[in-house]
């Protein structure tokens, strides 16, 4: 020590950026022994580092040190309950032959957003539980949690429009083709329209559980944006939008009705007197492509 100068001493047990990088690189390379060694040092120095502790548990699991991994996953799950940590903890319970413990953790995961049923079904650690009625029930309830639209019949009201279609006008001329797809966990109906007149467009259609109505957002390659709102009326999907045509406030309405042979009629109408009278703007019949 030189008089007047205080030299800082290195902190005992401090984790350097290099140590973190080494552990992370080993984890990415699935070098589990090196990763476990690195993360063990990190969690000893940083007891509340949940991310490092989770990765330490993953490394231990892949080294078949399941009892040690269970201890780490219990800590991370207690500190930050979520479905990812629940899955990891349930797996080591299953590996240790603790079916009851695994089931209890999976039960908790449902309230935390759920785990995709296909993930649970494909997990080899859960193979001994596949024929258990409790596991089947967890799969069912997890599916509803992860894919909530499956459990609500309102989301299925417009499914009759799903498919590949050729749309013709009343004169029998093809006005366009459309591919209507069910996407985003069965929550959204996605329209892809290709018109013979040169207009191409897309729409997203979804049931809003907040206002209990259907919404369609339409956009096209001419810069048009229209937002329709409505729902089922007498078995038909009826949606209406506030628009402005030729500087005049106009209501635009579309009515979709399923025909006895499976075709779908899409009838467009406009009103300039707040819905007192309506004039047809288009009338299309959708026939499924063969």
What structural domains does the chain harbor? 17-148 (1.25.40.10), 154-288 (2.40.128.20)
The pLDDT tens digits of the residues spanning 199-252 come to: 999 999 999 999 999 999 999 999 999 999 999 999 999 999 999 888 889 999
pLDDT exceeds cutoff 60 at 46: yes
pLDDT at 58 over 70: yes
- Using alpha carbons, list the distances in angstroms from residue 21 to 15, 16, 27, 57: 10, 9, 10, 18
| C-alpha span between 253 and 282 (Å, rounded) | 11
Contact 69, 60 (CB under 8 A): yes
pLDDT value at residue 150 = 85
For the question of whether the overall pTM of this predicted structure is more than 0.75, the answer is: no
* Reduced DSSP (H G I as helix, E B as strand, rest coil) percent helix, strand, coil of the chain, to 5: 40, 30, 30
What is the spatial distance between Cα 269 and Cα 252, in angstroms, rounded to a whole number? 6
Question: For residue 168, is pLDDT > 60?
Answer: yes
d(CA 81, CA 228): 40
- Please give the mean pLDDT across all residues of the chain: 94
Q: What is the pLDDT of residue 185?
A: 87
pLDDT at 234: 96
**19 C-beta neighbours (distance < 10 Å), count:** 15
pLDDT over 90 percentage in the chain: 90
Lowest mean pLDDT among 58-62, 74-78, 144-148, 284-288: 144-148
How much is the average pLDDT of 51-58? Answer: 98
**According to the model, what pLDDT value does residue 247 have?**
86
Q: How is residue 91 annotated by DSSP?
A: H
Q: What's the mean pLDDT in 258-282?
A: 97
Closest CA to 283 of 154, 175, 140: 175
- Position 84 pLDDT exceeds 60: yes
For the stretch 105-124, pLDDT in tens is 999 999 999 999 999 999 99
Structure-token pair, residue 230: 């409505």
Average pLDDT over residues 20-36: 98
The answer on pLDDT for 288 being more than 60 is yes
User: What would the mean pLDDT of 143-166 be, rounded to a whole number?
Assistant: 94
Instruction: Assign 13 a pLDDT band (cuts: 50, 70, 90).
Output: low
Q: Is 286 exposed, middle or buried (0-12, 13-18, 19+ CB in 10 A)?
A: buried
Question: Residue 135 is encoded by which pair of tokens?
Answer: 């596991």
Percent of the chain predicted with pLDDT > 70: 96
176 — phi, psi (to 5°)?
170, 180
DSSP E strands, the chain: 163-168, 174-183, 188-195, 200-208, 213-220, 225-233, 236-245, 248-258, 264-271, 279-288
The whole-number pLDDT of residue 9 equals 41
Q: 208 near 215, Cβ under 8 Å?
A: yes
- Measure the CA–CA gap between 69 and 53, rounded to whole angstroms: 10
What value does the mean pLDDT take over residues 48-52? 96
């Amino acid at each position: 020590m030189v008089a007047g100068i205080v030299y800082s001493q290195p902190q005992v047990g401090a984790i350097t950026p290099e140590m973190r990088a080494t552990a992370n690189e080993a984890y990415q390379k699935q070098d589990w022994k090196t990763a476990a060694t690195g993360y063990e040092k990190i969690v000893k120095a940083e007891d509340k580092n949940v991310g490092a502790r989770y990765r330490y548990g993953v490394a231990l699991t892949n080294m078949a040190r399941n009892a040690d991994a269970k201890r780490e996953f219990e800590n991370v799950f207690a500190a930050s309950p979520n479905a990812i940590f629940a899955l990891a903890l349930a797996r080591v319970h299953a590996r240790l032959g603790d079916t009851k413990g695994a089931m209890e953790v999976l039960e908790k995961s449902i309230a935390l957003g759920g785990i995709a049923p296909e993930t649970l079904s494909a997990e080899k650690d859960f193979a001994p539980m596949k024929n258990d009625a409790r596991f089947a029930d967890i799969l069912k309830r997890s599916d509803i949690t992860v894919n909530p639209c499956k459990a609500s019949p309102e989301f299925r009201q417009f499914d009759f429009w799903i498919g590949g279609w050729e749309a013709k006008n009343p004169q029998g001329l093809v006005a366009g083709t459309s591919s209507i797809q069910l996407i985003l966990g069965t929550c959204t109906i996605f329209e892809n329209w290709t018109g013979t007149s040169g207009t191409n467009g897309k729409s997203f259609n979804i049931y809003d559980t907040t206002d209990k109505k259907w919404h369609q957002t339409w956009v096209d390659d001419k810069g048009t944006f229209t937002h329709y709102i409505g729902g089922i009326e007498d078995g038909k999907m009826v949606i209406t939008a506030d628009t402005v045509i030729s500087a005049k406030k106009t209501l635009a309405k579309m009515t979709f009705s399923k025909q006895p042979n499976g075709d779908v009629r899409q009838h467009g109408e406009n009103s300039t007197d707040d819905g007192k009278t309506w004039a047809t703007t288009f009338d299309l019949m959708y026939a499924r492509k063969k």
